[in-house]
């Protein structure tokens, strides 16, 4: 069974902590935590993982195993250009399209190679100057043709 959410994030949320709080309490940069939760950092260094485990009240070895398992359980992106284009015709917004392609924003951002905040910021309309270049590059990386990307750019974000 695929676990759609990162074990560090789940542990943090179950304790009612924000990313900012956990990062500060663990003595790490918030962007380090973001990278771990998004899956961009597959193997955090021992000091970082120890600090997180200590603050979360988790066993460091168990947390490492949970992270390794989460990464191993993640499906590889297997989108065809035709599938990506076909879903455009049934979507009214970029967010609708993304949810059809990949319901998890975190997972999709990881597949695209962008920060989750880049994806969700765009979907929520916080970007007023169009689709970020990183998002365009990521879409092309997963198989979107330039025509599909242009259609997606013309759609409202949400």
pLDDT confidence bin for 155, thresholds 50/70/90: very high
pLDDT-based confidence at 4, cuts 50/70/90?
low
- Give the pLDDT of residue 76: 65
Within a domain: residue 1? no
- pLDDT at res. 3: 43
Place 141 in a pLDDT band, splitting at 50, 70 and 90: confident
Decide if 117 is inside a domain: yes
Residue-averaged pLDDT of the chain = 88
Range with the poorest average pLDDT among 35-44, 52-61, 114-123: 35-44
Q: At 140, which CATH number? A: 1.10.260
Containing structural domain, residue 30: 7-73
99-115 tens-digit pLDDT: 999 988 888 888 888 88
Dihedral pair phi/psi, residue 109, rounded to 5°:
-60, -40
How much is the pTM? 0.57
Do 66 and 92 lie in a common domain?
Answer: no
Same domain flag for 34 and 93: no
pLDDT at 38: 78
């Amino acid at each position: 069974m695929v676990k759609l959410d990162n074990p560090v994030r789940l542990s943090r949320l179950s304790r009612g902590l924000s990313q900012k709080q956990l990062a500060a309490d663990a003595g790490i940069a918030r962007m380090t935590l973001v990278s771990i939760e998004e899956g961009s950092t597959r193997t955090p260094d021992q000091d970082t993982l120890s600090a997180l485990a200590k603050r979360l009240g988790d066993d460091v070895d168990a947390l490492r195993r949970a992270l390794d398992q989460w990464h191993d359980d993640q499906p590889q992106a297997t989108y065809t250009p035709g599938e990506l284009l076909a879903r455009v015709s049934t979507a009214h917004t970029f967010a609708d399209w993304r949810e059809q392609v990949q319901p998890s924003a975190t997972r999709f951002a990881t597949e695209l190679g962008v920060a989750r905040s880049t994806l969700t910021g765009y979907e929520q309309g916080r970007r007023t100057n169009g689709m970020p270049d990183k998002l365009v590059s990521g879409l092309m990386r997963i198989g979107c043709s330039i025509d599909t990307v242009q259609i997606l750019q013309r759609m409202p974000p949400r």
